[in-house]
């Protein structure tokens, strides 16, 4: 066979153009639409454009991109057209360290499947209205190390699956309680980092009502908080429960005492002036006879597999018991109805968590009287008030209801003293009164010897002349009427 025919027999047959197009579509980077952007490193569905000195997000981006890393560049503005086409597979977008100062409210319209968004270490100052409302599947949002001072109430709307929100190292001065209240805004939130901000006060009472698994990941350290006993007790309970947000940052949890300019450790406020905060009592519940109470099993594990209660008598509660007086609720709480004195004691809740087991103790105090019924003893304040009123009444009786000095009371042998206005005025005042006429209150006996008082004036209460009598009673002395006025002297009466 000639050499030319031999080479022709060995020649590979031509491939149709349609087959070449199909082969190119099978390769991730074979087509123009799926080519790797310049200055980026591509591996499968991962695009790394970090530290490439980019001023904008590279375009066009392949539709199958799952992870896009554009960190450490100069992308200062994220407009709505950075992703002109829909990216249905993108679940992680990294834009940290870019000097990013503006994010359009429509910037995430074409990436609805995003689950991880990193906007940390930028220059964001505000979180505008409905900024992240298009990210219904977002789970992790990193906004730490920015300049954020204003957070719109609707900035995190529609984030029903958000689990971790990092807002640390910003300029936030007001605690965003709407993110936690009732769990309606962010029902799946399990971590909220507000450390290193400008918070001066936090709603300690409302935070204490949050479940322990959320308080376990509520970071408040490195804030210029004002010292408060409620705040101390909130953190003290967290330390006793070994909550990581408190236990891992005890030295960074500081506050300003009243009138002071230096920070002190919050967990060292117990018994120290000027607040003299008392130690927190963990899980102590007080009730009255006949009440119905619910004992909560506040575990710090979110994915609890099972729970059961043990009563003070050592009985394990698995369902209804005691004719319906003890009920195990669906959320793991224990409800006690029509409390009796023997229901008091320490109840324990055994929790089987996803990582470790946990035992919680709740002490129940039952007072031996009903809440609206009569008490066994009078209230101390009420008793003190009644005693004061009785004392005042007795003093008034002593002052104004003096014994009657008349003939019928003293006997016929002793004539009554002449009544005069000066006698009545001497009771209430030491100022001499005008001379008045004499009266005859009970008989015809009239004082025959009226004495003179100070400055020669008539002394209405003068000593009457008593006729001489025989016998031992003749030596009886008549009391000086001045003694009457001496009882009602100017000296104040101290009760």
User: Collapsing DSSP states into helix, strand and coil, what is residue 345?
Assistant: strand
Determine the pLDDT at residue 276: 86
What are the φ and ψ backbone dihedral angles of 381, each rounded to 5 degrees? Answer: -65, -40
Provide the token pair at 467.
């006729």
Mean local confidence (pLDDT), 306-323: 74
> Each residue of 89-103: pLDDT tens digit?
999 999 999 999 999
In this structure, what is the dihedral angle of CA atoms 232, 235, 241, 247, given to the nearest 10 degrees? -130
Which is nearest to 335 in space by CA: 364, 356, 315?
Answer: 364
Query: Does residue 144 register a pLDDT over 90?
Result: yes
Angle at 142 between CA 137 and CA 145, to 5 degrees: 165
Q: Which residues contact 467 (CB under 8 A, 6 or more apart)?
A: none
The pLDDT score that the predictor gives to residue 426 is 42
* pLDDT for residue 134 is more than 90: yes
Residue for token pair 């006060």: 201
Encoded tokens for 292: 């119905």
For residues 146 and 120, is the Cβ–Cβ distance under 8 A?
yes
Domain holding 334, by residue range, is 285-367
Q: Which residue has the higher pLDDT, 385 or 40?
A: 40
Best mean pLDDT range from 146-155, 331-340, 396-405: 146-155
Q: Give phi and psi for 228, each to the nearest 5.
A: -155, 140
CA distance 178 to 237: 23
Report the distance separating Cα 114 and Cα 126, nearest Å: 21
Cβ contacts of 313 within 8 Å, gap of 6 or more: 345
Q: What is the mean pLDDT of the chain?
A: 76
For residue 106, tell me if it sits in a domain.
Answer: no
Query: In terms of residues, how long is the chain?
Result: 495
Q: Region 375-388: what's the mean pLDDT?
A: 65
251 is a domain residue: no
Sequence-distant (≥ 6) Cβ neighbours of residue 276 within 8 angstroms = none
Residues 407/417, Cβ–Cβ less than 8 Å: no
pTM: 0.62
Cα(87)–Cα(110) distance, integer angstroms? 6
CA distances from 86 to 29, 34, 448 (A): 18, 14, 126
Q: Is the per-residue pLDDT at 492 higher than 50?
A: no
Confidence of residue 139 (pLDDT cuts 50, 70, 90): very high
Q: Tell me 289's DSSP state.
A: T
- Could you tell me if residue 303 is inside a domain? yes
Model confidence band, residue 196 (pLDDT cutoffs 50, 70, 90):
very high
**What distance in Å separates the CA atoms of residue 7 and residue 29, rounded to the nearest whole number?**
35
pLDDT given at position 319: 59
Per-residue pLDDT tens for 103-120?
999 999 999 999 999 999
pLDDT in tens, 218-239: 999 999 999 999 999 999 989 9
For 349, the enclosing helix (H) or strand (E) is strand 345-352
Q: What angle do CA 275, 279, 282 make, to 5 degrees?
A: 140
With respect to residue 356, please indicate whether it lies within any of the assigned structural domains.
Answer: yes
| pLDDT classification of 27: cutoffs 50, 70, 90 | very low
Per 3-state DSSP, the chain is made up of helix, strand and coil in percentages (nearest 5) of 20, 15, 60
Instruction: Give yes or no for residue 303 having a pLDDT over 80.
Output: no
Q: Is the peptide bond before 274 cis (omega within 30 degrees of 0)?
A: yes
Count of CB atoms within 10 A of residue 170's CB?
23
CB 440 within 8 A of CB 406: no
Say whether pLDDT at 410 is over 80.
no
Question: What is the domain-level CATH number for residue 335?
Answer: 2.60.40.10
The answer to the question of residue 302 being in a domain is yes
Q: Which residue has the higher pLDDT, 35 or 417?
A: 35
CA distance 396 to 375: 32
CA distance 157 to 152: 10
Task: Say if 306 falls within a structural domain.
Answer: yes
Q: Which residue has the tokens 């949050």?
A: 210
Q: What pLDDT, on the 0 to 100 scale, is given for residue 313?
A: 81
Task: State how far the Cα of 204 lies from the Cα of 166, in Å rounded to an integer.
Answer: 20
Task: Judge whether residue 137 has pLDDT over 80.
Answer: yes
**Residue 316 forms part of a structural domain:** yes
Question: Is the backbone of residue 32 left (phi > 0), alpha (psi -120 to 50) or beta?
Answer: alpha
Confidence of residue 482 (pLDDT cuts 50, 70, 90): very low
Using a 10 angstrom Cβ sphere, with 0-12 exposed, 13-18 middle and 19 or more buried, the burial of residue 53 is exposed
Instruction: Give the pLDDT confidence score for residue 381 in this predicted structure.
Output: 63
Q: Beta partners for 293?
A: 336
What pLDDT was estimated at residue 13?
42
Q: Which of 185-189, 375-379, 401-405 has the highest mean pLDDT?
A: 185-189
pLDDT band at 402 (very low <50, low <70, confident <90, very high): low
Number of domains in the chain: 1
Quote the tokens at residue 295: 């004992």
Q: What CA–CA distances, in Å, run from 207 to 197, 214, 291, 369, 447? A: 18, 9, 26, 32, 86
User: In this structure, is residue 389 part of a structural domain?
Assistant: no
Three-class SS of 134-175: CCCCCCEEECCCCCCCEECCCCCCCCCCCCEEECCCCCCCCC
- Asked if 367 contacts 344 with a C-beta cutoff of 8 angstroms, the reply is no
68 — pLDDT class (breaks 50, 70, 90): very high
Tokens of 344: 């008091």
More confident residue, 391 or 194: 194
Least confident of 43-57, 181-195, 467-481: 467-481
Greatest C-alpha distance within the chain: 189
Strand, helix or coil at 342? Answer: helix
- 360, 297 Cβ separation under 8 angstroms: yes
Cα–Cα distance for residue pair 438/475, rounded to 1 Å? 28
Q: Quick: pLDDT tens for 255-271.
A: 999 888 899 999 998 88
Of 140-144, 254-258, 259-263, 353-357, the range with the lowest mean pLDDT is 353-357
């Amino acid at each position: 066979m000639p050499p030319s025919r031999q080479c022709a027999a060995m020649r590979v047959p031509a491939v149709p153009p349609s087959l070449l197009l199909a082969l190119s579509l099978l390769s991730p980077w074979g087509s123009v639409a799926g080519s790797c952007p310049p200055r980026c490193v591509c591996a499968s569905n991962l695009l790394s454009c970090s530290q490439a000195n980019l001023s904008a997000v590279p375009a066009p981006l392949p539709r199958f991109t799952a992870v896009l890393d554009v960190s450490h560049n100069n992308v200062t503005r994220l407009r709505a057209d950075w992703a002109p086409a829909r990216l249905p597979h993108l679940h992680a977008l990294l834009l940290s360290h870019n000097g990013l100062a503006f994010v359009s409210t429509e910037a995430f319209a074409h990436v609805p499947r995003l689950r991880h968004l990193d906007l940390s270490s930028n220059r964001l100052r505000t979180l505008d209205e409905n900024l992240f409302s298009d990210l219904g599947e977002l789970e992790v949002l990193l906004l730490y190390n920015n300049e954020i001072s204003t957070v719109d109430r609707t900035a995190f709307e529609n984030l029903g699956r958000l689990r971790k929100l990092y807002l640390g190292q910003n300029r936030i001065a007001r605690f965003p309680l709407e993110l936690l209240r009732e769990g309606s805004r962010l029902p799946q939130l399990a971590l909220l980092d507000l450390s290193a901000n400008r918070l001066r006060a936090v709603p300690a009472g409302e935070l204490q009502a949050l479940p322990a698994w959320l308080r376990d990941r509520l970071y408040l350290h490195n804030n210029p908080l004002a010292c408060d006993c409620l705040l101390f007790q909130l953190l003290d309970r967290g330390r006793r429960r070994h909550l990581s947000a408190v236990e891992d940052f005890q030295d960074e949890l500081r506050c300003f005492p009243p009138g002071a300019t230096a920070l002190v450790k919050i967990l060292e406020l117990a018994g120290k002036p000027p607040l003299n905060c008392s130690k927190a009592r963990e899980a102590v519940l007080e009730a009255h006879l006949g009440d119905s109470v619910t004992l909560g099993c506040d575990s710090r594990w979110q994915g609890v597999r099972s729970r059961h209660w043990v009563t003070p008598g050592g009985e394990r509660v698995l369902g209804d018991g005691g004719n319906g007086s003890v009920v195990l609720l669906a959320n793991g709480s224990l409800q006690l109805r029509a409390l009796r004195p023997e229901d008091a004691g320490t109840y324990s809740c055994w929790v089987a968590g996803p990582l470790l087991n946990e035992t919680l103790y709740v002490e129940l105090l039952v007072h031996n009287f009903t809440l609206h019924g009569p008490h066994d003893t009078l209230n101390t304040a009420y008793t003190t008030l009644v005693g004061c009123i009785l004392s005042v009444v007795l003093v008034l009786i002593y002052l104004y209801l003096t014994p009657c000095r008349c003939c019928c009371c003293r006997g016929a042998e002793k004539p009554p003293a002449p009544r005069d206005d000066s006698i009545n005025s001497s009771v209430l005042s030491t100022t001499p009164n005008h001379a008045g006429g004499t009266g005859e209150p009970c008989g015809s006996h009239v004082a025959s010897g009226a004495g003179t008082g100070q400055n020669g004036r008539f002394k209405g209460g003068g000593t009457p002349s008593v006729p001489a009598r025989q016998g031992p009673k003749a030596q009886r002395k008549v009391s000086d009427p001045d003694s009457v006025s001496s009882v009602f002297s100017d000296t104040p009466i101290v009760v």
